[in-house]
Structure 1
Amino acid sequence: MAAPVIHPSAFVSPRAELGEDVVVGPCALIEEDVVIGARTRVDAFASIKRYTTMGEDNHVHSHAMVGGEPQDLKFHGEVSRLIIGSRNSIREFSTLHRGTESGGGVTSIGDGNLLMAYVHVAHDCTVRNNIVMSNNATLAGHCLVEDGAIIGGLSAVHQFTRVGRHAFVGGMSGISQDLPPWMLAVGNRALVQSPNIVGLRRIKASQELVSAFKQAYRLLWFSGIPRPDALLQLEAEYGHLPEIAEFITFVRSSERGILPAEERKRD
């Protein structure tokens, strides 16, 4: 363990708190009231703005801007925060903004996320763990992205929208309503295409779980059964599976509504 290594050309406030073995590159900016955990790297020309807290083993790449003021006309300079966990990779030119008073005052990013170049996470978002946001993916304010989700490049998620656990958003998609767990959506505006079969295979899901999500897809989008009744039927058949129970809870709690599905082509 060693003291932080700070390049002579970096601008680091004496009121910033840097953990052991932190490395700060040339011309990087770290403002006051910033906390950075051990073994984190801040590369050349990256900026860590005031009221940002980061855990351990993060890597902030060149020209990323972490903790900027929110792009919200209601923001009037109040104290708000960006809280980031550990083991995140924040790539070049990404912008991560603090929260707002009306949104709870905190933007939160969990552990083990890969935010590729030019990603934007707006004010009051919650980005949980092990998420991949590809180049130029954008979250508007107040979004929730659950564990293991993947958001393709050049995609945008509307404010107050939720992306469920292990959901997959294809590239260049516009997500205007909630995308349930383990579902795959693509398009402008995005439509649900199928369960996220590739994601299920990656976790070595049982055949029963794969069949359950296929049935969920059929019941909710193509059966013609009213959604509350479709959920009851799904619950009766597969509610003993935790992932299906989570899916049902997600759909029932949706305030913006669930993304529609692509209409099936008739022969």
Structure 2
Amino acid sequence: MSSSSIHPTSIVEAGAKIGDRVTIGPFCHIGPEAVIGNDVTLLSHVVIMGATTLGDGAKVYPNAILGGDPQNTKHKGGHTTLVIGRNCTVREGVTMNRGTDGSRGFTTVGDNCMFLAYSHVAHDCDIGDNVTFANNVMIGGHVSVGNNVIIGGGAALHQFVRVGHHAFVGGLAAVALDVIPYGMVIGNHAYLGGLNIVGMKRSGMARPEIHNLRRAVRMLFDRSKPVRNRAGDVRLAFSQSPAVADLVDFITADTKRAFCTPPLGSGIETSDSDDNS
């Protein structure tokens, strides 16, 4: 702690582990089981509770509460954790809860994530790398969010929902069903409105692979068969495409939850006019 700066109005309880070059501003409270990485900045009025690990390079804004007890009546007070990765930005009023004892027991957040004001990560969630939550996003317990996902302001995700990597959830969407990788969902309740073409381009995906995914998704949701039954046909038709194989693996995973699908009669958008790569 010799190279760190702790404001005299803040409380760092005995047992907390503070890395190098940490700045803790006024009126913060760091609990005895907290582990704070190197080069972390807590601006002011930040509360870190329970067995919470905050990775190197994080920046946390006022009134964020990290590592609070799970909001789950099944939790009986056992030891559970929250682990937040490197270089995350946590804006004002964000809340993240630890896991639930007797369940997964830990909440995890990946590297390079951004959580805008008043967003919430519930107990036992698993958040990937490079994820962005816009203002007031709320996700229930046991939600899984893949890498490179963007969730628009005010969106809400039902507990146990899975959001595949590179997906986009529109603002104010109410997501009660799984979101396929690369998918873009909107509405209340959310439906599949197409693919996150912009996100795929930003991640450097090759144009032929984007086209493979577009054709594969149209085939998956053509309503000639249930989606899971159609998955095998899609795998065979696009056997040389790693991205399609990844999509099919998500579809065929052992889960009882259905998927966000296109509205009846609308289908998936088929034009390539928005693909100018």
TM-score between the two structures when normalised by the length of structure 2: 0.92
Determine the structure 1 residue equivalent to 2:92.
92
Q: Secondary structure at the match of 1:107?
A: strand
Q: Secondary structure at the match of 2:216?
A: helix
Determine the structure 2 residue equivalent to 1:198.
198
Determine the structure 2 residue equivalent to 1:256.
257
Deviation at 1:261, TM superposition (A): 1.2
Matches within 5 A, 1:62-101: 62-101=62-101
Determine the structure 2 residue equivalent to 1:54.
54
The 1-side partners of 2:207 and 2:10 are apart by 54
Determine the structure 2 residue equivalent to 1:134.
134
Q: Secondary structure at the match of 2:184?
A: strand
Residue 183 (str. 1) matches residue 189 (str. 2): no
The 2-side partners of 1:178 and 1:80 are apart by 26
Deviation at 1:110, TM superposition (A): 0.9
Once the two structures are overlaid, the 10-residue window that deviates more, 205-214 or 49-58, is: 205-214
The 1-side partners of 2:47 and 2:229 are apart by 51
Residue 220 (str. 1) matches residue 223 (str. 2): no
Residue 9 (str. 1) matches residue 6 (str. 2): no
Asked if the contact 2:77–2:101 (Cα under 8 Å) also holds between the matched residues in 1, the reply is no
Deviation at 1:3, TM superposition (A): 1.8
Asked if the contact 1:103–1:142 (Cα under 8 Å) also holds between the matched residues in 2, the reply is no
Asked if the contact 1:215–1:234 (Cα under 8 Å) also holds between the matched residues in 2, the reply is no
What does the per-residue CA deviation read over 1:95-137, in whole Å, with 9 as the maximum and x for residues that have no partner?
0000001322100111000011001000000001000010000
Q: Secondary structure at the match of 1:101?
A: coil
The 2-side partners of 1:202 and 1:264 are apart by 31
Deviation at 1:223, TM superposition (A): 4.4
Once the two structures are overlaid, the 10-residue window that deviates more, 75-84 or 16-25, is: 75-84
Q: Secondary structure at the match of 2:221?
A: helix
Determine the structure 2 residue equivalent to 1:174.
174
- The number of residues matched between the two structures is 266
Output the aligned Cα RMSD.
1.5
**Structure 1 unmatched ranges of 5 or more:** none
TM-score between the two structures when normalised by the length of structure 1: 0.95
Once the two structures are overlaid, the 10-residue window that deviates more, 79-88 or 237-246, is: 237-246
The 1-side partners of 2:123 and 2:77 are apart by 13
**Counterpart AA for 1:167:** A
The 2-side partners of 1:207 and 1:223 are apart by 26
Determine the structure 2 residue equivalent to 1:111.
111
Determine the structure 2 residue equivalent to 1:148.
148
The 2-side partners of 1:228 and 1:45 are apart by 48
